Amino acid sequence: MNTPTDINPNDTRGEALLNLHIHDRFVSELPADPDLDNHRRQVLGACYSFVKPTPVTAPYLIAYSPEVAADIGLSPHDCESLEFTNVFVGNALIDGMQPHAMCYGGHQFGNWAGQLGDGRAINLGEVEDRHGELQMLQLKGAGETPYSRSADGLAVLRSSVREFLCSEAMFHLGVPTTRALSLVGTGEDVIRDMFYDGRPKAEPGAVVCRVAPSFLRIGNYELFASRGELDNLRHLINYTIRHHFAHLGEPSTETYLKWFKEISERTAKLVVHWMRVGFVHGVLNTDNTSILGLTIDYGPYGWIDNYDPDWTPNTTDAGGKRYRFGHQAQIAQWNLLQLGNALYPLIEDAEPLRQVLNDFVDFYNQHWQQMRADKLGLKQFIEETDQPLNQELQKILMLTETDMTIFYRRLADVPCEPDTAINDTELLSIFDEAFYAPESLSKADKDDIVAWLKHYQTRVQQDGTKDKDRKAAMNQVNPKFILRNYLAQQAIDKAEAGDFSEVIKLLEIMRHPYDEQPEYDEYAGKRPDWARQKPGCSMLSCSS
C-alpha cells in the first residue's frame, strides 16, 4: 500500500506551507500506543496511535477558508497550490508531522459504549496561529485507523460539505466551534448506505481539514477512568491544564476542581449560543462534547426552521428525542456528570463535584435569560416582567409554524416608540414572511400575537431605547442568514454533479450572517415546502 510522502522542498509553490513549523506536544508528552500496525484493536494505556492517512489517486481542491488559512500564515496562493491539496487530503506530509488518531470512549445515547476513538479522523500536528496559540490540524475522512471498528475511515462529499460549511458558519455567528481549513475531493468513490435500508451506493469521497486548539473531548478522560488507568488519567488531565487551562495554575486537586468548573461554564455558554441561533447538535454524546467548550463533530445537526423545542435533526433520535432542541442544556449537564464521575477517583470527594453540577443550572439560566433579553433588544433581563413575556412568546411561536430566525429578525422592525404606533393589521403584517401557513391563524391566534406584540412594545418603552438603536443591537444577535439544511443540500446536489459554485457562495454568505446582504435575500427565506421531506433537507442520519 502506498503511504504519504514528504513534499518536495525544492518546489516554491505554496512556500509558506512548506515553512509551517509543526509542533508535537500531544505525541511527545502523552503515552503512545506501541503497536504501529494499522489494525482494529482495543488500545490500552495510550492516548493515541500513530497512523498515516491513506493516499488517494486524483485529489482536487473544492474550497478553503481564507480566514483560517490567513490565521496560520497561508495565502490564497499557498492554498491553491498542488502541495496544499496533497497535504490536506493526506497524500503528503510536512516535515515534523506525526499523524495519529486519539483513543477515547464515550456514552452514546446515554449508554456506555466503551472504546471509540478517532475512527475517521487523523491529527497531523499543531501549528502556531497569528495570536501565538497552537492549533491542531486534523483530517476527517483520510482513511482507517485502529479505532475505525467495522468502518473504512472515509467520508463522503455530502457530509464533508456540511461539516466544512457549518464549521465556518458557526464561527461567523459567534458560536464557539472547531474551524475548517479546507475541503478536498479525493477523486475516489466511497460506498455508503445513506438511509440504512440495505441499498448502499457509490458516492464521491472528500476530506475536511478541521482546526482547533484541541480535539480532546469528555470521552478521552472517561475511557481511562473506566479502565482504572488513573496514572494515565492524571497525566492527561495535567497535560490539558498546562497547555489549555494554564491560567488555573499548576495541576493539583484544587486545580482539578477549578478546571471542572470552567469546563462546565464553557459548556453552558456554548449551549446558550446554540439556543440563540437555533442550532441543534443532534448527537451530543460524551465523545462529541469538547473539553474546551467548542461545537465539535458536525454529524446529523440541524437548524430550527419552524420553532419546535421537541425537534431533533437526527433520524436515529426520532423516537426518543434525547437530543432535541429544547433539551440540549439538560444533556450538556448529564455529559458533565459523566466527566465528574471520571474525575472522582482523583478527587475522592463527591460534594465539590456535585456542587459544580448544581451550579451549572444557575449559571446556564443566568446566561440564557440574558441571551433572551438580548434577542428581544432589552437592556437586561428583569424576571418580574420578562419571564412571563418570554413564556407567552413560546406559546405564540407555536400557534402556527413560525420561523424562529425570521421572527426575531422581523421583531427588530416593530416600532416601539410612543409616537410611531401602527394599527393591529400593520403590526401583524411585519411577520408575514415568518409564518409557514398564515392562513391557518384563527382570529383568536392573531389577537394573541398582537396582544403579545403590544406587551413587547410596552416593555421596550420601559427601557427608553430608540427604535434605531434597538434594531442595531438586535441585528447583532439575531442572524438574517443561517445554514439551513436545505441550503446545504442544494450545494451538495450541485457539488456531486461537479459544480462547486454553490459551496463557495454559501461560504461567502455565511461569513456575514448579521449583515443585510440584500443581493442574497433568497438565502434568508424560510424553508420551502418541497424541502420538508426531501432527504438531506430536514432530518439527517449519522451517515449524512
- SS3 string, 144-178, reads CCCCCCCCCCECEHHHHHHHHHHHHHHHHHCCCEC
Placement of cell 440495505 in the chain? 198
Order of all β-strands in the sheet with 201-212:
48-50, 100-102, 121-128, 134-140, 201-212, 179-192, 60-64
**Whether 287 is catalytic:** yes
Placement of cell 427565506 in the chain? 525
Cell numbers representing residue 257 in the block: 476542581
Catalytically annotated residue among 78, 118, 287, 297: 287
The angle formed by the CA atoms of residues 441, 516 and 486, to the nearest 5 degrees, is 60
Count CB atoms within 10 A of the CB of residue 503.
21
Residues 6+ apart with CB under 8 A from 19: none
Backbone angles phi, psi at 137, to 5 degrees: -100, 130
CA distance 64 to 110: 36
Residues 6+ apart with CB under 8 A from 202: 189, 190, 191
> Closest Cα to residue 234, out of 258, 254, 259, 251?
251
Residues 6+ apart with CB under 8 A from 132: none
> Closest Cα to residue 143, out of 54, 37, 26, 239?
54
Cell numbers representing residue 496 in the block: 456531486
Active site residues: 287
